[in-house]
Amino acid sequence: MKIDRCVCHEKSFAYLLKVAEDHDCASLESLQKHVTFGSTCGLCHIYIERTLKTKEVEFYQVLQAETPSPKHKH
Ligand code: FES
């Protein structure tokens, strides 16, 4: 299963990352000032936070708060 968007608002993580970069948003909250997403079920939040941190835009596992990023495995 590929997870690559806020399903509720049909916004891909790649698109959200682009908006974040255009507006220098480091947090979900500041990104939400520029684009509507994440305000319905909220399940995408954890992914988008990861997108902002690591620039990953596709996920193949269900993330939990403590799931380490593949790029930062020890
Ligand atoms: S998937 Fe983003 S609010 Fe539901």
Each residue's pLDDT tens digit, 17-62: 999 999 999 999 999 999 999 999 999 999 999 999 999 999 999 9
Question: At residue 58, what is the residue type?
Answer: E
Question: At residue 29, what is the residue type?
Answer: E
Q: Which residues are CB-neighbours of 10 under 8 A, at least 6 positions away?
A: none
Ligand 1 pocket check: which of 43, 50, 59, 62 to mutate, most ligand atoms within 8 Å of Cβ?
43
Cβ distance 61 to 5 under 8 Å?
no
3-class DSSP assignment, residue 52 = helix
Q: Which residues line ligand 1 (CB under 6 A)?
A: 6-9, 37-38, 40-44
pTM over 0.85: yes
